[in-house]
Amino acid sequence: MKAFISYSHRDVEALNRLHVHLAMLRRDGLLEEWFDRDILAGGHIDAEVAAELESSRIFLLLVSPDFLNSDYCYNTEMTRALERHRAGDARVVPIIIEPCEWQSSPLRELKALPRDGKPVSDWTNQNNAYLNVTQELRRIVESEVKPKLSSNAAEAGALSGVEEASQARRYRLKRDFDEIDRSEFLDTAFATVRNYFESAVAELDGTEDLRARFTALSPTSFGCVIVNRGQARGTAHITVHRRSSGYVMGDIYYSFSENAAPNTANGGFSIEHDEFELFLSSRDFGYHDRKEKLSAAAAAESLWTEFVQKAGVVYD
């Protein structure tokens, strides 16, 4: 899904952070971003912006005092985006970057991100705010993709065998992956897992009969603890490490114990690849590959589910 990002140039730092957090959506082939920095030198700015306003399926508005003050953002980009939203052929998602009077604008009709429209700048850890944004965007994109696939499948039933194959055909490019590709993928994957756990712990802590704490142990490791007051043995620990040298149980590996040493593990995820993409594959304590192809977000959710179960908590 092509996403048009509308922002004030005074908010370029917020744009850069959002771009980083959207990495897994790009890697999973779910989202393609466009913003005005993609216009090449010599390009006709107004014409290219107008073309993208008509071709994009989702509009991400980085809302701030400077955005509301910008005639171009407000009167040109936002106005056209809302027209297409109301017509039902696009979706507008306001992302509140800083406190501002956005609820006095037409955006008051829409659900804003992050959670409850709380501005990114008001979050203690802004990475949690951007993680909440990307998780919600993944839900939006996947909800748009699944009905389209179902519709295509129904239509394909009426096509001939040749036409049906043509409808389902996808083109993928084979490529080689070097150590820099693997290192960058590992950096992004570990950050995704860490941010997922930090956000999930913040969400869980304070829930009835539950306490949870996230601890950043080092740039390459973190730990979490969950206390389930409803069970006598309802305490669970986990320590997660990013491989920094050598090879233990994987490129990202974990122990279900507190402050576990970096040379111990109960399981892990290793970076693998096929002819087309890099992905994570999980390994258990017995050094058996499970042969999954996991995105970093899927690996984080899988590990979180296993972790909370050890405290007598079911996550679904």
Asked if pLDDT for residue 295 goes beyond 70, the answer is yes
Average pLDDT score over residue span 163-169 = 48
CA nearest to 268, candidates 297, 245, 239: 239
pLDDT: is 153 or 21 the higher one?
A: 21
**Residue 262, SS3 per DSSP:** coil
pLDDT per residue over 12-30, tens digit each?
Answer: 999 999 999 999 998 888 8
177: exposed, middle or buried (Cβ count in 10 Å: 0-12, 13-18, 19+):
middle
Average pLDDT score over residue span 256-262 = 90
Amino acid 311: pLDDT: 85
Query: Which H or E run includes 239?
Result: strand 235-242
Asked if pLDDT for residue 247 goes beyond 80, the answer is no
Average pLDDT score over residue span 98-113 = 93
In this structure, the number of other CB atoms found within 10 A of the CB of residue 293 comes to 13
Q: What is the pTM of this model?
A: 0.49
Check whether the bond before 114 is cis (ω within 30° of 0). Answer: yes
Amino acid 146: pLDDT: 56
> Could you please report the per-residue DSSP string of 182-228?
HHHHHHHHHHHHHHHHHHHHHHHTTSTTEEEEEEEEETTEEEEEEEE
Return the domain boundaries, the chain. Answer: 2-140, 179-309
Q: Of 77-81, 152-156, 273-277, which range is least confident?
A: 152-156
Task: List % helix, strand, coil for the chain (3-state, nearest 5).
Answer: 45, 20, 35
Q: Report the topology of domain 2-140.
A: Rossmann fold (3.40.50)
Summary mean pLDDT of the chain: 82
Phi and psi angles of residue 16, each rounded to the nearest 5 degrees, phi first? -65, -40
Asked if pLDDT for residue 147 goes beyond 70, the answer is no
Amino acid 149: pLDDT: 46
C-alpha to C-alpha distance for 179 and 316, rounded to whole angstroms: 36
Going by the DSSP 8-state scheme, the letter that residue 241 receives in this structure is: E
